[in-house]
Every structure is written in C-alpha cells, then in structure tokens.
Amino acid sequence: KTYLLCALAVCAIRKFYTVKYIKASSLINEATAAALEGKIIEYENRMISYDLLIIDDFGFMSLGNSECLRIFEILDGRSARKSTAVASQLPRESWYDLFQDNTYADACMDRLTKGAYKIELFGPSLR
C-alpha cells in the first residue's frame, strides 16, 4: 500500500503538483500540537493547500472528539477541490468504528469516499 502511494506521489511531483505524505498518527499529533500552540488554522490551511495529501496507516490512531474535529476540518477543506489518498490495513467498512463520534464519522467518511476510487491489494508484502 505504501509503495503504491509513494508511486502516486512521484507521478504527481513529476507533473509539478504539491504532495504531502504523512502517517495518520503523525497528522493527528501535528494537528493536536498546532492546536495547543494556537496555530491550528495555519496547520489546517497548510494541509488543505497540497494538491495531493497522502495519509498512510489510517486506523492506527485514536480518534476522540478533538481528533475527529481536526481530521474533519482538513478533509472538509480539501473536499471536491484537492486529492486525498488514504491507505489502511483495515477494510473501509470498519473505518466508522475508529471515530468516537458518529456524526464526525459520517461527515469524514462522506468526504473520503464520495467520488473515490477504491483499490484493494492482495498478495504477499513487498517488504
């Protein structure tokens, strides 16, 4: 999954698009730190500004109410304007369970899945 995301990133960069690759847990940690420093708007705007945002290892993080809000704000700002790629070990159907708040779960999943391409990989690890 990571290999495929990185290949997409290389293709986008070669076409002069801006790309940000980040693990989901790092995205949450950085957003939380920015909120504590009073710089959350700047952080969200930076994440929204990339042409392609790649979020890897989605599902290996805790999504309490504040984390749900951070993810939602970023996804909402990117929705229908910018591309977002997400990789996870978990099947997409179980992503709802990651969110503590069902309203945020519905809102985030809507922004992640509307018009999305779903690629399921099978076979041995490339590691």
Tens of pLDDT, residues 54-77? 999 988 776 888 888 898 999 999
Start-to-end CA distance of the chain, whole Å, equals 11
- 115, pLDDT greater than 80: no
Characterise 53 by phi-psi region: left (phi > 0), alpha (psi -120 to 50), beta (else). Answer: beta
Write down the pTM of the prediction: 0.86
